[in-house]
A = this chain, B = another copy of it.
Amino acid sequence: MKEPDKAFVLWLTGLSGSGKTTLADRIYEFISKKGLSVEKLDGDILRGFFPATGFTRQQRDEHIKRVGFMASMLEKHGVIVVASFISPYRNARRFVRDVCKNFIEVYVHAPLDVCEKRDVKGLYTRARAGQIKNFTGLDDPYEEPEKPDIIVNTDEQSVDESASVIIDFIGKYL
């Protein structure tokens, strides 16, 4: 593995089902194939490691801040980070931007009804049935990025198209 010219943290935020993980996997693979040092941090995977992490506002905030800190440490040591987290609150995302050196915010956007129709993991169904509380987009807010560095609209663009937009943007760092 070689260090990139300039490490960065590519942060994918958006609703559950918006396509964050799919895109993160693509981008990770692209960077990895270039032989560059890269790490993937994914919300579902990290929560699998730390099942006690809850979904209240404070718990989500703490979670994202910790992940952001971890990302910044990796970045500091020359590792590119591809992070995919719903990360619904602006404040927490701002914290991550502040601790990182090169923070690139990607708003992975699809309308709520599209995400709900996809319902890849069946979470929307469970949330509508009252089995999941504090579900982003339903009974917990998603605070849209005000000035994201990149927006992809996954209901209008194919995965390839969305991935291309991101890859074009990060080209200057690679």
Residue ranges of A at the interface with B (Cβ–Cβ < 8 Å): 1, 37, 39, 49-50, 52-53, 58, 62, 65-66, 69-70, 73-74, 76-79
Could you tell me the distance between the alpha carbons of A74 and B65 in the complex, rounded to whole angstroms?
A: 17
A53 proximity list for chain B (CB < 8 A): 62
Please give the distance in Å from A174's CB to the nearest CB on chain B.
17
Q: How many copies does the complex hold?
A: 2
Are A66 and B50 in contact, with the CB atoms below 8 A?
yes
A76: nearest chain-B partner, CB-CB: B39
**With A50-B65, A62-B52 given, is the CB distance from A37 to B77 under 8 Å?**
yes
Return the chain B residue nearest A52 by Cβ. B62
Contacts of A1 on B, CB cut-off 8 Å? 77-78
In the bound complex, residues from chain B placing their C-beta under 8 Å from that of A50 are 62, 65-66, 69
